[in-house]
Structure 1
Amino acid sequence: MSEFVVTKRRMIEARWNAVVSRADGTAIAETPKLSVTLDGKPVLGVSLKAGGEGDWEMIVPVPAEAVSDGIRTIIVQDSVTDESLASFSLLSGEALDEDLRAEVDLLRQELDMLKRAFRRHCVEST
Protein backbone atom coordinates (compact mmCIF):
# COMPACT_ATOMS: atom_id res chain seq x y z
CA MET A 1 0.00 0.00 0.00
CA SER A 2 1.28 3.43 -0.93
CA GLU A 3 2.14 5.95 1.73
CA PHE A 4 0.98 8.82 -0.52
CA VAL A 5 -2.42 10.30 -1.34
CA VAL A 6 -2.95 12.41 -4.46
CA THR A 7 -5.85 14.87 -4.29
CA LYS A 8 -6.98 16.72 -7.41
CA ARG A 9 -7.26 20.46 -7.13
CA ARG A 10 -8.30 21.54 -10.61
CA MET A 11 -7.64 21.29 -14.33
CA ILE A 12 -6.82 24.63 -15.95
CA GLU A 13 -5.03 25.68 -19.13
CA ALA A 14 -4.15 22.06 -20.04
CA ARG A 15 -2.54 21.44 -16.64
CA TRP A 16 -3.89 19.07 -14.03
CA ASN A 17 -3.10 20.36 -10.52
CA ALA A 18 -3.04 18.13 -7.45
CA VAL A 19 -1.68 17.92 -3.92
CA VAL A 20 0.47 14.99 -2.80
CA SER A 21 0.32 14.24 0.90
CA ARG A 22 1.22 11.37 3.17
CA ALA A 23 -1.63 9.01 4.06
CA ASP A 24 -0.88 9.31 7.77
CA GLY A 25 -0.84 13.13 7.63
CA THR A 26 2.85 13.58 8.43
CA ALA A 27 5.08 15.89 6.39
CA ILE A 28 6.87 14.60 3.28
CA ALA A 29 10.55 15.51 3.58
CA GLU A 30 11.85 14.24 0.22
CA THR A 31 10.36 14.53 -3.25
CA PRO A 32 7.77 11.75 -3.65
CA LYS A 33 8.66 9.10 -6.23
CA LEU A 34 5.65 9.15 -8.54
CA SER A 35 5.20 8.23 -12.19
CA VAL A 36 2.64 9.69 -14.56
CA THR A 37 1.75 7.72 -17.68
CA LEU A 38 -0.44 7.88 -20.75
CA ASP A 39 -0.87 4.55 -22.55
CA GLY A 40 2.04 3.14 -20.54
CA LYS A 41 4.44 5.90 -21.65
CA PRO A 42 5.73 8.56 -19.25
CA VAL A 43 4.18 12.02 -19.41
CA LEU A 44 6.93 14.63 -19.74
CA GLY A 45 7.06 17.93 -17.88
CA VAL A 46 5.48 16.78 -14.61
CA SER A 47 6.56 19.05 -11.76
CA LEU A 48 6.56 18.51 -8.01
CA LYS A 49 7.42 21.29 -5.60
CA ALA A 50 7.18 21.58 -1.86
CA GLY A 51 3.97 23.17 -0.66
CA GLY A 52 2.68 24.18 2.72
CA GLU A 53 2.26 21.88 5.70
CA GLY A 54 4.59 19.16 4.34
CA ASP A 55 2.55 18.55 1.18
CA TRP A 56 3.79 18.72 -2.41
CA GLU A 57 2.20 20.54 -5.32
CA MET A 58 1.97 18.43 -8.49
CA ILE A 59 1.37 19.83 -11.97
CA VAL A 60 0.79 17.43 -14.87
CA PRO A 61 0.77 19.05 -18.31
CA VAL A 62 -1.74 17.41 -20.64
CA PRO A 63 0.31 16.12 -23.59
CA ALA A 64 -0.91 16.99 -27.10
CA GLU A 65 -1.15 13.27 -27.97
CA ALA A 66 -3.80 12.90 -25.24
CA VAL A 67 -6.15 15.13 -27.20
CA SER A 68 -7.69 12.91 -29.84
CA ASP A 69 -10.97 11.21 -30.64
CA GLY A 70 -12.13 8.92 -27.86
CA ILE A 71 -11.09 8.60 -24.26
CA ARG A 72 -7.53 8.96 -23.01
CA THR A 73 -6.61 8.28 -19.39
CA ILE A 74 -3.56 9.64 -17.57
CA ILE A 75 -2.57 7.68 -14.45
CA VAL A 76 -0.50 8.80 -11.44
CA GLN A 77 1.26 5.91 -9.68
CA ASP A 78 3.57 5.39 -6.75
CA SER A 79 6.87 4.41 -8.40
CA VAL A 80 7.84 2.21 -5.45
CA THR A 81 4.64 0.17 -5.06
CA ASP A 82 3.18 0.66 -8.59
CA GLU A 83 -0.13 1.49 -6.90
CA SER A 84 -2.46 3.76 -8.84
CA LEU A 85 -3.01 6.94 -6.78
CA ALA A 86 -5.05 9.08 -9.15
CA SER A 87 -6.18 9.33 -12.73
CA PHE A 88 -8.02 11.64 -15.05
CA SER A 89 -9.62 11.02 -18.41
CA LEU A 90 -10.04 13.22 -21.45
CA LEU A 91 -13.05 12.69 -23.68
CA SER A 92 -13.15 14.29 -27.10
CA GLY A 93 -14.42 13.75 -30.59
CA GLU A 94 -17.71 12.06 -31.22
CA ALA A 95 -20.16 12.17 -28.35
CA LEU A 96 -20.13 8.92 -26.43
CA ASP A 97 -23.30 7.40 -25.07
CA GLU A 98 -21.84 6.32 -21.76
CA ASP A 99 -19.00 7.18 -19.43
CA LEU A 100 -18.33 3.46 -19.11
CA ARG A 101 -15.67 3.60 -21.82
CA ALA A 102 -13.47 5.75 -19.56
CA GLU A 103 -13.76 3.15 -16.82
CA VAL A 104 -12.88 0.33 -19.23
CA ASP A 105 -9.83 2.29 -20.40
CA LEU A 106 -8.74 2.80 -16.79
CA LEU A 107 -9.23 -0.90 -16.05
CA ARG A 108 -7.06 -1.80 -19.05
CA GLN A 109 -4.31 0.51 -17.80
CA GLU A 110 -4.49 -1.00 -14.31
CA LEU A 111 -4.49 -4.55 -15.72
CA ASP A 112 -1.34 -3.75 -17.70
CA MET A 113 0.24 -2.40 -14.51
CA LEU A 114 -0.69 -5.58 -12.61
CA LYS A 115 0.72 -7.78 -15.39
CA ARG A 116 4.04 -5.91 -15.26
CA ALA A 117 4.17 -6.18 -11.46
CA PHE A 118 3.34 -9.91 -11.57
CA ARG A 119 6.00 -10.60 -14.19
CA ARG A 120 8.56 -8.64 -12.16
CA HIS A 121 7.57 -10.63 -9.05
CA CYS A 122 7.97 -13.93 -10.93
CA VAL A 123 11.44 -12.94 -12.16
CA GLU A 124 12.55 -11.77 -8.70
CA SER A 125 11.26 -14.85 -6.87
CA THR A 126 13.09 -17.39 -9.05
Structure 2
Amino acid sequence: MLEQSRVRAGHWEGIWAGAEAPDLQVSHLEKDLPDLSAEKMENGKWKLRLPIPPELLSDGVQTFLIRMDEETLTHFTIVTGVPLEDDLRAEIDLLRAELDMLKRAFRRHCVETGA
Protein backbone atom coordinates (compact mmCIF):
# COMPACT_ATOMS: atom_id res chain seq x y z
CA MET A 1 0.00 0.00 0.00
CA LEU A 2 1.33 3.42 -0.97
CA GLU A 3 1.19 5.57 2.17
CA GLN A 4 2.48 8.90 0.97
CA SER A 5 4.16 10.50 -1.98
CA ARG A 6 5.70 13.79 -3.02
CA VAL A 7 7.82 15.39 -5.70
CA ARG A 8 11.10 16.78 -4.46
CA ALA A 9 14.22 17.96 -6.28
CA GLY A 10 13.15 16.44 -9.58
CA HIS A 11 12.26 13.06 -8.09
CA TRP A 12 8.98 11.43 -7.17
CA GLU A 13 9.23 9.80 -3.76
CA GLY A 14 6.84 7.46 -2.03
CA ILE A 15 6.59 5.15 0.96
CA TRP A 16 5.34 1.60 0.39
CA ALA A 17 4.01 -0.39 3.37
CA GLY A 18 4.57 -4.04 2.62
CA ALA A 19 6.79 -6.97 3.48
CA GLU A 20 8.27 -7.15 -0.02
CA ALA A 21 9.44 -4.55 -2.49
CA PRO A 22 6.53 -3.60 -4.75
CA ASP A 23 6.52 -4.28 -8.47
CA LEU A 24 5.27 -0.86 -9.56
CA GLN A 25 5.23 0.75 -12.96
CA VAL A 26 5.13 4.50 -13.47
CA SER A 27 3.87 5.78 -16.80
CA HIS A 28 3.40 9.11 -18.54
CA LEU A 29 1.30 9.30 -21.71
CA GLU A 30 1.19 5.48 -21.81
CA LYS A 31 4.99 5.14 -21.77
CA ASP A 32 6.65 3.41 -18.84
CA LEU A 33 9.36 5.32 -17.03
CA PRO A 34 12.52 3.44 -16.04
CA ASP A 35 14.68 3.79 -12.94
CA LEU A 36 12.10 3.37 -10.16
CA SER A 37 14.13 2.29 -7.13
CA ALA A 38 12.96 0.69 -3.88
CA GLU A 39 15.09 0.86 -0.75
CA LYS A 40 14.18 -1.05 2.43
CA MET A 41 13.81 1.20 5.47
CA GLU A 42 14.41 0.28 9.12
CA ASN A 43 10.69 0.21 9.92
CA GLY A 44 10.05 -2.52 7.35
CA LYS A 45 8.67 -0.15 4.76
CA TRP A 46 10.12 0.70 1.38
CA LYS A 47 11.28 4.10 0.15
CA LEU A 48 10.47 4.51 -3.54
CA ARG A 49 12.25 7.02 -5.74
CA LEU A 50 11.89 7.88 -9.40
CA PRO A 51 13.79 10.58 -11.30
CA ILE A 52 11.41 12.65 -13.44
CA PRO A 53 12.94 13.13 -16.90
CA PRO A 54 13.14 16.88 -17.62
CA GLU A 55 12.05 16.35 -21.23
CA LEU A 56 8.60 15.29 -19.97
CA LEU A 57 7.99 18.65 -18.34
CA SER A 58 6.37 21.33 -20.45
CA ASP A 59 3.68 23.98 -20.11
CA GLY A 60 0.41 22.62 -18.85
CA VAL A 61 -0.51 19.61 -16.76
CA GLN A 62 1.52 16.40 -16.83
CA THR A 63 0.01 13.36 -15.12
CA PHE A 64 2.00 10.29 -14.10
CA LEU A 65 0.21 7.02 -13.26
CA ILE A 66 1.52 4.57 -10.67
CA ARG A 67 0.34 1.02 -11.33
CA MET A 68 0.71 -2.47 -10.00
CA ASP A 69 -0.46 -5.46 -12.04
CA GLU A 70 -2.19 -3.19 -14.58
CA GLU A 71 -4.26 -1.55 -11.80
CA THR A 72 -3.76 2.16 -11.18
CA LEU A 73 -2.96 2.73 -7.51
CA THR A 74 -2.54 6.48 -7.62
CA HIS A 75 -1.16 9.30 -9.71
CA PHE A 76 0.77 12.51 -9.33
CA THR A 77 0.47 15.65 -11.37
CA ILE A 78 2.97 18.34 -12.22
CA VAL A 79 1.65 21.71 -13.36
CA THR A 80 3.94 24.19 -15.08
CA GLY A 81 3.81 27.33 -17.14
CA VAL A 82 1.66 30.40 -17.54
CA PRO A 83 -1.08 28.86 -19.72
CA LEU A 84 -2.40 26.91 -16.75
CA GLU A 85 -4.41 29.84 -15.41
CA ASP A 86 -6.13 30.27 -18.76
CA ASP A 87 -6.71 26.52 -19.06
CA LEU A 88 -8.39 26.38 -15.66
CA ARG A 89 -10.56 29.40 -16.38
CA ALA A 90 -11.62 27.94 -19.73
CA GLU A 91 -12.44 24.60 -18.09
CA ILE A 92 -14.49 26.27 -15.34
CA ASP A 93 -16.35 28.35 -17.94
CA LEU A 94 -17.11 25.19 -19.90
CA LEU A 95 -18.38 23.41 -16.77
CA ARG A 96 -20.59 26.40 -15.90
CA ALA A 97 -22.06 26.45 -19.41
CA GLU A 98 -22.79 22.73 -19.27
CA LEU A 99 -24.39 23.08 -15.84
CA ASP A 100 -26.60 25.93 -17.09
CA MET A 101 -27.65 23.80 -20.06
CA LEU A 102 -28.54 20.90 -17.76
CA LYS A 103 -30.54 23.18 -15.45
CA ARG A 104 -32.55 24.53 -18.39
CA ALA A 105 -33.19 21.02 -19.73
CA PHE A 106 -34.28 19.80 -16.29
CA ARG A 107 -36.63 22.73 -15.79
CA ARG A 108 -38.11 22.19 -19.25
CA HIS A 109 -38.58 18.49 -18.48
CA CYS A 110 -40.36 19.34 -15.21
CA VAL A 111 -42.72 21.77 -16.99
CA GLU A 112 -43.49 19.28 -19.76
CA THR A 113 -44.17 16.34 -17.41
CA GLY A 114 -45.93 18.37 -14.74
CA ALA A 115 -43.47 17.16 -12.08
Identity across matched positions, percent: 25
**Pair 6,37 (structure 1): closer, same or farther in 2 beyond 3 Å:** farther
Classify the secondary structure of the residue corresponding to 1:53: coil
TM-score w.r.t. length of structure 1? 0.61
Query: Which ranges of structure 1 fall in alignment gaps of 5 or more residues?
Result: 23-27, 102-126
Higher helix share: 2
Match for residue 76 of structure 1? 66
Mapped pair 1:64 → 2:60: no
Deviations 1:69-99 (A, max 9, x none): 2111111111x2x222221111112232329
**Pair 84,6 (structure 1): closer, same or farther in 2 beyond 3 Å:** farther
Deviations 1:16-74 (A, max 9, x none): 1110114xxxxx1x321110111111112211111122211001111122211211111
C-alpha RMSD of the superposition: 2.2
Count of residues in correspondence between the two structures: 89
Work out whether residues 16 and 46 of structure 2, in 8 Å CA contact, stay in contact via their aligned partners in 1.
Answer: yes
Query: Which ranges of structure 2 fall in alignment gaps of 5 or more residues?
Result: 92-115
Classify the secondary structure of the residue corresponding to 2:78: strand
Mapped pair 1:87 → 2:84: no
**Pair 40,64 (structure 1): closer, same or farther in 2 beyond 3 Å:** same
Match for residue 15 of structure 1? 11
The alpha carbon displacement at 1:6 in A equals 4.3
Bigger Rg, structure 1 or 2: 2
Work out whether residues 2 and 14 of structure 2, in 8 Å CA contact, stay in contact via their aligned partners in 1.
Answer: no
